[in-house]
Structure 1
Amino acid sequence: MTTLHRVDPPRTAVRPKAVARAGLYALLAANVAVVTVFFVQAGFASNALIVTGRLAGLYAALLMAFQLLLVARLPFFDRRIGMDRLTSWHRWVGFGLLWLLVAHGVFIVFGYAQASSMGPVDQLVDLAETVEGVLRAIVAMALIMVVGAVSARCARRRLAYETWHFIHLYTYLAVVLAFTHQVAAGSTFTASATATAYWYGLWGTALGAVLVGRVVLPVGRNLRHRLRVTAVVPESDHVVSIYVSGRDLDRLPARAGQFFLWRFLTRDRWWQANPFSLSAAPDGTHLRLTAKTAGDGTAALRHLKVGTRVFAEGPYGAFTTMHRTRPDTLLVAGGVGITPMRALLEELHGHVVLIYRVTTDQDAVLYAELTELAHTKGAELHLVTGPAVPDKLAPRDIATLVPDVADRDVYVCGPPGMTTAVLRTLGDLGVPRAQIHAERFSLAG
């Protein structure tokens, strides 16, 4: 039997997301101020172009360290902000970093060219040949420009996730090369022992955060829990549920609505990590994920053998009851986005309405479970079927099904197009943004 613990919404407390977001902004602002102070203290012994270029380079290095923090997958920020939003911030900060690096290179080259009366190209070659660390900086910038190019939406859509991810890993090489350039050629953080200690401390913290969040925590948890597949249950021709168990799962800090990056350690799948949400609330004895066939990788899940070792990274995501602000809840799910909703429905208290949007009745994953669970909890379940056009979750439709929608927390999970449309509808209905919690279910897209 599943044991659930009631989690009442914090009616007057400061929202966890606001606290974490403000903390990140304050951290970045404080470091910008510190870097600026050290830069001014080091003095301006060059022309205006070189001074501007150096300052742009320092801010670029600071953003690079901030980038590492955003993707470190630290539980404190992930549970409050969510990996999808942190990844989005990482993307936009990355483009800002790219432009700062371009400005750094252009201003530095033209500044030295102005002082030496050389042409920009000759000056760049001369700097690469005579100044330690400059060649490494050029290679780092080239790598970051490649990563930035493949991260543009038009290129991202044409690349397989594994290809994009492999190219993205070169960012770490760029980070190492850029840092060694700063140490070799920088003057701001060699002007004083305090500045030098700060710079090493900043980068040590950023790299340490990545090591802890991406290596130490996942490896430690998997060594402790020793996860294995205990059952493989076909739910339909295209949907399968995988049950995973292990040791001391009551100590695993997983919550309904979160997901893991799952690696099933078979000969042909150990190198693939796929994000799947928990489709049942964790009960301390087992975890369940439910996947719909979307390619050869997910199709192979139904052939997993009981006893297969599992390496799971997580839990991740802020799509949990931690962020509730109202006693009653509306859940809006589309397609396989029902899986985290199924888990949330199990954990939620108060009056719950679940709207499940699918094309046909046969597409309704776990519908029998949902019906039974909704009956047990006194929740309302609405199955909305039909093609995507016309929109059946327009303002009038949702207002008819849930007249008090503006007084509820609303959780939305489904394909990106549906999620965007529902979020627009909720805005039209006057639902406050603090009450809207969305999961776009597109991490691996």
Structure 2
Amino acid sequence: MNAGSDIALNTVWVVLAAAMVLFMEGGFSLLEAGFVRTKNAVNVTMKIFVDLTIGVLAFFLVGFGVMFGKDFSGIISFNFWGASQTLHIDLNLPLSAYVLFQIGFAIATISIISGAVAERMSFKAYILIAFFVAAILYPISGHWVWNPEGWLAQLGMKDFAGSAAIHALGGSAAFAFAKVLGPRRGRFNTDGSVNVFAPSNIPLASAGTFILWFGWFGFNAGSTLNAADVNLSLIALNTMLAAAAGGTSAMIYTMFRYGKADPSMTMNGALAGLVAITAGCAFVTPYSSILIGLVAGVLVIWGTLAIDRLQVDDPVGAVAVHGINGSFGALAVGLLDQKAGLLTTGHFHLLGVQLLGVIAVVFWGYSLSYGAAKLIQATVGLRVKDDEEEEGLDMAMHGIPAYNELERFSDQPVSDQALYLRTGSED
């Protein structure tokens, strides 16, 4: 196969993988809509559309250049994406295909935050957060890890598809925003006990989980950027095995610990397995992938309980799924990497680098997001009013309920504006 054919095949593969990653936004939307209360389902869906609009443009116009441009001291870079001569990555495909693929990663990082702040964040504030994450937060730390001239890349950090660069970062940012935002009204009692807000639609959440699981094959295997990569099928297999193991351990743990197999924890267990294997899917064996997934499925439960004890309200478990298991997944590479892992070769160096990388990314994600949250809180406002939260953000922010059957929901009339938009008539 000649060079032109190689480029054409790689282009098709990366564009298809990018489409799979972008389709994951549908998974985020359904998962969050199923986990929140009915009165907030439209709002979480609209926030995903913010990711797909504001987030895409912010990363294209600013973030990509910050992440992959000419380096300044290993910390930051900048160039317009079209200046391919300054892109310090050896690509065997058009730059436009690579930009499209990276857009999917950037907006996935924003969507991690969406679930953690659900049901009480101002929509205007979320728009600012989406721009901030796509243009500044993710590109700078992503530059450290994935730009060959970034300081963590220079140290030899391995994060194949983003357990640290995407998930640990997004999870730590989500924790900061949720902490500053405060819990939903009535979530915690004065004695520290937790009131359970039941998910509105478990089948809907499960459909979102299935879509995310499907898209993850593009997320991980697409990161080869090469349709002929000999590791492509191994990466896909490792992805599948870790997800299955994560769902298995979470399901069995809840069945024996609580007497019932918990569906939301089973879903989050599978997602935790996917998050944890994202860093090492190209570097570990299938058996190691199963081990990583098994640990992740239990770790997400322990993490969720720990976050509740801290009285930080995370309606979908985003911090435990992405932040905790993203960190674990990056560290697992240092333990189980076939060529340099502590448990496989006895060498400590890679684990030390991975630990340093996780600490740097988590500290960056939390500290900068905490500052951004405080700034937004002091200016445009971070949280909705109490009466808006009580009414539900679907009506307060968007003027239409998720399930618009007027005869059944006579207590939730659709706003005049929404009726006009839907019917084209003011009658």
More strand by share: 1
Q: Greater relative contact order: 1 or 2 (C-alpha under 8 angstroms, separation 6 or more)?
A: 2
Please identify the structure whose Cα radius of gyration is greater.
Answer: 1
More helix by share: 2
Give the TM-score taking structure 1 as reference length. 0.28
